[in-house]
Amino acid sequence: MTEVVHARGHEHVSARHASTFEITTDDYLTPAGDCILAIDADRAPADFDPDFVEACRDANAVITVTIKAAEHTESVTGRGDPDLEFASERSAVGRTSEYVDERTVLFEADFAAEGFDRDLVAALADGTDARVTFTVSPE
């Protein structure tokens, strides 16, 4: 199962955060937002299909987020959990930790913002449009 979100980069994308990455519906980004990879997303976790959300709530689910901007693509994988809410109407956050709140869409991620390919980050910092695909599958 997949969900697709369209967003765009911003000049302040730095992808330096060590434990999270984020896609937000906000249409701005300050330099302090070092986990944010893309802004102005056309959808948030609260908009995702209930069947997709239910599949993500399986403790054995594998959730992959793939970001494509220009010719650059990067994927990060984490896991699902029954506590995932998918309630945020603003942002989707992937975490390397086990912390869960209304924004969390996966945790125990392979890496956070700082682990994303620097060419992809540069394209996002140039304001390139991004396609963000969320995929869930059983382990």
pLDDT tens digits for 108-122?
999 999 999 999 999
CATH of the domain at 128: 2.60.120.630
Question: Closest Cα partner for 92 from 113, 74, 71?
Answer: 113
> pLDDT tens, 57-102?
999 999 999 999 999 999 999 999 999 999 999 999 999 999 999 9
Facing residues of 8 across strands?
39, 129
* pLDDT confidence of residue 42: 98
pLDDT band at 139 (very low <50, low <70, confident <90, very high): low
pLDDT at 49 over 70: yes
What is the domain count for the chain?
A: 1
Distance, first Cα to last Cα, the chain: 13
> pLDDT tens, 1-11?
999 999 999 99
pLDDT at 135 over 90: yes
* pLDDT confidence of residue 108: 97
pLDDT at 45 over 80: yes
pLDDT at 21 over 90: yes
Full domain range(s) for residue 103: 2-138
